[in-house]
Structure 1
């Protein structure tokens, strides 16, 4: 647990270091507010002993003006402190979010298969908001209260050592419950953050699949399950709040109890003339300052415990290493890239299925400019091969070479810049159609965007939309039909203009007429480019240069459609079933 606290201090220090001037301004303003607040105690003493007690209206007016001057100075210093501390909190949290997001973008895709994206989102938002609160508020308040506690104790000794002893006795009594309850609060704070993240992840998952939820009338079950998530989070938060409440309660009783005893002893001293009323008032003021500071620090410790838990979750993300990285000294491809792909004895096994290789000793050579179709039953390894080509994962054995260069020796950006991918499920983002198409080529001109859309036969439906190419899409392209989404994805690939195309059943979501025109566009696009096509409908790849039949991760047969109908029993069976089904429709 000590390590967790130091993680927070280290993280905060790391991100505060670039802003030393702003940190200096905040500390100066914070010190001024603490010093002025402590000076007010002396102002109260002077007001009573030299203003009220002397019965002089002139002196009273003088010391009232001094007191008001202190108040104005305190207000100005407080504003300055609040501005710079809040600025630091917001700046640091923005930097942390940028650092975490940039790190996440480079992690291998398998990381997100084992870590829920919505929970990661919660860490990036809820946890960083907590850090912002602590760095931009709680931490400065704690530091100010520490200064005021120390300064208050000094003034207590100066004012009356005997009464100060009563206050000092209470300090160890206050620290003890802070240590005891603080550990419990810290543990429960981490649990609370995890439970809240679980609630957010479940909400995001359900809302993103709302049509399926409603189609299957699953709302009652989801209501009950969300209620369980919410109740779990509530119960953990309740336990944490009980521990924090007990901590604050014990501190208040001990501190104010000590103040009560001090007032009794001090009151007797005033009655007997050993001290003045102003000195007692100043002493009470400093006692309240010290008591309030200790109480505030004990309360803020709870916030710091929560921040420690949130920091641990963020540090976990920052320390998550990517299994796929660019080599230290990457090789270079000869330009222009021809697109020849050589796959030799390729083997890949998913960690969850170590005894069942997804690809097993696969050897396949794709000629530059060739259109190669990959067919076979589900689980044959077709999509896995695409992932390995793009280095979303690395093979267990064997190699993949692009133009004779092992792809593992290439810089990732250069390697992936050779491929244009159209997946079976088109991926669109919140934003305008134009922005979605530019995703493949951010510097594309409007004319290039329109040309790509026309080639994919998407221009006709785009211009019919209310705002044309500036029409904004919902999340994942909500508002468009499946065929329209797919045509936009194809237009994006056309705009990318890469030497190798990866088409994962790119026309699967189109109607017959759209499929015909898009197929024509793709055929033009394929000229001079190496194209790998994952095909579930064999009718779409009958004219491919060659067809590779995969089965259980191995290459079962390779040839043209006519050749495979003669020599591959598996291909013949798949083709016969599909074409017979088509004829029966």
Structure 2
């Protein structure tokens, strides 16, 4: 299911919801039949009122009165059943379509390139995925149904007015344009304020999410009071926009009601004169008043729901922006197959790259590197030298602006991105775990792995012992990002995940730099198991961890300025000598 690629604006944006509704055309048809049934029977009640008055009360016929009452009760019973069907199917449709939209938005989000999330806040995206889709559920599941019913009743009421009395109908028809005018004029402003209101709500959610995520930092610096005032400011901004929106909607509704019921008052006055003069029966006047009230109520309801539709239009626009976002990272239509016999597993050819969010800062500058199959290469250098950037290009989170990144003899841009990533395992410096149990987090590396394979991976990562000591062992819930584990334990679970994945290329972003000595020892043993007989690239912050690497590449300002073993670089590279002296406290180095 795919939405239009060009975002629409105004109420026309609601048309983009049709692809999500179309698969449930039968449900829509059932709901419309029930809606037309209830509307038609409601309009028929007006004639029942006329007959009841003219042929029951006025004629004095008790038999006719009883018969008319029975018919009315039958009509009311059918109306009740049709109302049940309409409400059920429309509500079902709202829930189903909203679930499909939410899934489509999520499916789009997880395919977008990482730089998209540098330019768009996660809280804003989450607001669209939750708040905006919930608003659409309310619109599709109830408001739209009421709007259609009111519109049918409005049109049907106008027709019945013409049939009942042409003279009085002209009074009502004259008032309709006056009622529609404020709907059109004020509706645009309501839609704009609705969009602004949704944006402010997203700001509130985004701010709260960030503070909750950084709660330890907030509390350690005793900034609770400051954050409370800052959050209050965000809440008041959202309330201020909502108040403007409510004021406009209230003004719209009050204007419509005033004009509509003023027209009814004038019509009743004129009809009363005709009844007194004998040119109109009491039943006809009662029926006319009944239809006039239906028309007035229909106009008032439509005007009120127009405000809801304007809010839905604003939410739809925000969702369409996500659905129309295109990833800059994608597989070619005919991807090249990786050459599994290529001697060079990884090759950087004169790669120049800058991050989209930092176009004036060059992260890599004409960088060259060849990594052979089975080789362990360490990357060292000061912060900002470009070490992590190499990993991001290998994983194709980004593409270089110049040069090429090859893997197994194929330019990464010409390979299938999923096939390329499936051969790589990345162990970041800050381990990432999901709010689930141990089974789930390790098995994330290979979802089809058996329990025995998961346990074997945990043992290879020296994680099995502490896992067994958790309250529920491998079924223990770890909390958000593994909050219930220590840094070393989290890192070993991530390593177990990588071992289970069994990659051909291993990317290690110094996994021990933030650990204590005991945890570092355990993690290093796990890494030794992981790197055995694999092509490995290691970002090294601690030079002691890469002394045994086949080669060490020294980076500075996005370029490789030296290459060799640990001993060779101590002799030949001034930068490496300085890094070694700082870490080993060895002046002779």
Would you say 1:207 and 2:212 are equivalent positions?
yes
Q: Give the corresponding residue for 1:322.
A: 327
Contact persistence 1:8–1:307 (CA under 8 A): no
Shift of 1:69: 1.0
Residues 181-219 of structure 1 show CA distances to partners (whole Å, capped at 9, x for unaligned) of 111111111111111111111111111111111111111
Range moving further from structure 2, 437-446 or 11-20: 11-20
Give 1:12's aligned residue.
17
Q: What is the deviation of 1:346?
A: 1.1
Partner of 1:279: 284
Alignment of 1:392-541 (within 5 A): 392-541=397-546
In structure 2, do the counterparts of structure 1 residues 17 and 339 end up closer, same or farther at CA, with 3 Å as the change threshold? farther
Give the secondary-structure state (helix, strand or coil) at the position aligned to 1:472: coil
CA contact (8 A) 2:339 2:409 kept: no
Question: Are the counterparts in 2 of residues 490 and 506 from structure 1 also a CA contact under 8 Å?
Answer: no
Instruction: Write the distance in 1 (CA, Å) between the matches of 2:576 and 2:339.
Output: 37
Does the residue aligned with 1:372 lie in a helix, a strand or coil?
Answer: strand
Query: Does structure 2 retain, via aligned residues, the 8 Å contact 1:185–1:240?
Result: yes
Are 1:356 and 2:371 counterparts?
A: no
Does the aligned pair in 2 maintain the 1:90–1:136 contact within 8 Å?
A: yes
For 2:341 and 2:364, the matched residues in 1 are separated by 30
Provide the secondary structure at the position in 2 that maps to 1:328. Answer: coil
- 1:563 corresponds to 2:568: yes
From the superposition, tell whether residues 336 and 488 of structure 1 become closer, same or farther in structure 2 (CA, over 3 Å). farther
Sort the Cα spacing of 1:77 and 1:562 in 2 relative to 1 into closer, same or farther, 3 A: same
Distance 2:531 2:212 in 1: 39
The residue correspondences of 1:53-202 to structure 2 (distance < 5 A) are: 53-202=58-207
Are 1:46 and 2:51 an aligned pair?
yes
- The DSSP-based 3-state class of the residue aligned with 1:431 is coil
Q: State the distance in 1 between where 2:284 and 2:357 align.
A: 75
Whole-Å Cα distance in 2 between the matches of residues 119 and 356 of structure 1?
27
Stretch of structure 1 that moved more, 236-245 or 261-270:
261-270
Task: Report the alpha carbon displacement of residue 336 of structure 1 after superposing the two structures with TM.
Answer: 7.6
Distance 1:430 1:353 in 2: 32
8 Å contact kept, 1:339–1:530: no
* CA positional deviation for 1:508: 2.6
Give distance in 2, aligned partners of 1:390 and 1:122: 29
Partner of 1:236: 241
Q: Distance in 2 between matches of 1:530 and 1:96?
A: 42
- From 221, 224, 238, the equivalent of 1:219 is 224
State the Cα deviation string for residues 55-81 of structure 1 (Å, max 9, x = none).
Answer: 333322221111111111111111111
Partner deviation per Cα, 1:212-232 (whole Å, 9 max, x = no partner): 111111111111111111111
Q: Please give the per-residue CA displacement for 1:535-563, whole angstroms capped at 9, x wherever unaligned.
A: 11111111111111101100011111111
Separation of aligned partners in 1, 2:343 and 2:502: 13
Check whether the contact 1:100–1:317 (CA below 8 A) recurs between aligned residues: yes
Deviations 1:394-417 (A, max 9, x none): 011111111211111110100000
TM-score (structure 2 length as normaliser): 0.96
CA distance in 2, matches of 1:513, 1:472: 25
Is 2:260–2:296's contact at 8 Å kept on the other side of the alignment? yes
Q: Deviations over 1:372-413 (max 9, x none)?
A: 111100000000110000000001111111121111111010
The answer for the alignment partner of 2:303 in structure 1 is 298
3-state SS of the aligned residue for 2:537? strand
Task: Tell me what 1:376 maps to.
Answer: 381
C-alpha separation between the residues in 1 aligned to 2:343 and 2:321?
42
Q: Which runs of 5+ in 1 are unaligned?
A: none
| Unaligned ranges ≥5, structure 2 | 1-6
Q: Count matched residues.
A: 582
Q: Is the 8 A contact 2:11 2:309 kept in 1?
A: no
Once the two structures are TM-superposed, the CA of residue 167 in structure 1 deviates from its matched residue by 1.1
Deviation at 1:155, TM superposition (A): 0.7
Deviates more, 1:336-345 or 1:544-553: 336-345
Residue 458 of structure 1 contacts residue 484 of structure 1 at CA under 8 Å; is this kept in 2?
Answer: yes
CA 1:7/1:537 → structure 2, altered by over 3 Å: closer, same or farther? farther
> 1:153 Cα deviation (Å)?
0.8
Q: TM-score, normalised by structure 1?
A: 0.97
Alpha-carbon contact 1:339-1:499 (below 8 Å) kept? no
1:268 is matched with which residue: 269, 273, 277?
273
Q: CA deviation at 1:339?
A: 6.8
Give the secondary structure class of the aligned counterpart of 1:379: coil
Q: Distance in 1 between matches of 2:131 and 2:433?
A: 26
Q: Describe the superposition over 1:256-298 as per-residue Cα deviations: whole angstroms up to 9, x where unpaired.
A: 1111111111122222322222211111110100000001111
Instruction: Give, in angstroms, the shift of residue 515 of structure 1.
Output: 2.3
Instruction: Tell me which moved more, 102-111 or 38-47.
Output: 38-47
Determine if contact 2:115/2:357 at 8 Å carries over to the other structure. Answer: no
Output the CA distance in 1 between the equivalents of 2:567 and 2:413.
Answer: 36
Q: Partners of 1:438 and 1:105 in 2: how far apart?
A: 20
Work out the CA distance in 1 between the residues paired with 2:425 and 2:558: 24
The change in CA–CA distance for 1:134 and 1:47 in structure 2 (over 3 A counts) is same
CA shift, 1:337, in A, is 8.2
